[in-house]
Amino acid sequence: MSNLLGIVGSVSNPSKTRTAVEIALQSAAGEFDIETDLLHLAEYDLETADGRKLEQYSGDTARALELIISSKAYLIGTPVYRGSYSGVLKNLFDLIPRGKWQSNQAPLENRPVGLIATGATDHHYLSVSQELGPIASFFGAYQVGGGIYINASQFEEDRIVDKKVVQRLQNLGKSTIELSQYIDKSTFLSSLGPQF
């Protein structure tokens, strides 16, 4: 079981998004006594979501879903594609159960989710709050702060050279675990869930 799972919604490898997610993951692991794991979609050959029951998925898809189900907090990163999150990440969101007809599992419900997007320019910085934010809300997850957007000029190759961005990523990783621990101890935060 991982306490903190980094999800990288890019099929590129190396990936700028992965670099960002890994900084946040490592920072959280350095501060807290936790297990972390990484689900980089470049390394998984996922089936296309088609509404079947959770147990009917196999191979990489089952492996990816098991990682998500066995985790307690999440950092979700995406490259911006056409002003939104990537298509492969959309497919993963379509695969993740939310306690309804597909499965009674609802891994993201009442759990903290730190959101990260990388794009070429700053034109689509609102994709964090306006594209990733609503899907976190749909699952009944808690978005951790305002998330982080990083443009290409803040990277050199796949290394982040903007120190403020690095610090913000480190803070996001730690904040995600802090919120996870509060939720674990809570009565109300841990039972709110989505309205529908």
Ligand X SMILES: Cc1cc2nc3c(=O)[nH]c(=O)nc-3n(C[C@H](O)[C@H](O)[C@H](O)COP(=O)(O)O)c2cc1C
Positions in the binding site for ligand X (CB under 6 A): 10, 12, 15-17, 79-83, 118-121, 123-124
Q: Report which DSSP code applies to 6.
A: E
* Tokens representing residue 124 in the block: 């689509």
The least distance separating ligand X from the CB of residue 8, rounded to whole angstroms, comes to 7
The least distance separating ligand X from the CB of residue 73, rounded to whole angstroms, comes to 21
Closest CB to ligand X among 80 and 106? 80
Closest CB to ligand X among 7 and 135? 7
Nearest position to ligand X, beta carbon: 119
CB atoms within 10 A of CB 134: 10
58 φψ region: left (φ > 0), alpha (ψ -120 to 50), beta (else): beta
The least distance separating ligand X from the CB of residue 69, rounded to whole angstroms, comes to 24
Closest CB to ligand X among 59 and 146? 146
The owner of tokens 């695969």 is 95
CA distance 128 to 143: 10
In Å, how far from its chain's centre is CA 119? 16
The least distance separating ligand X from the CB of residue 170, rounded to whole angstroms, comes to 19
Closest CB to ligand X among 87 and 134? 87
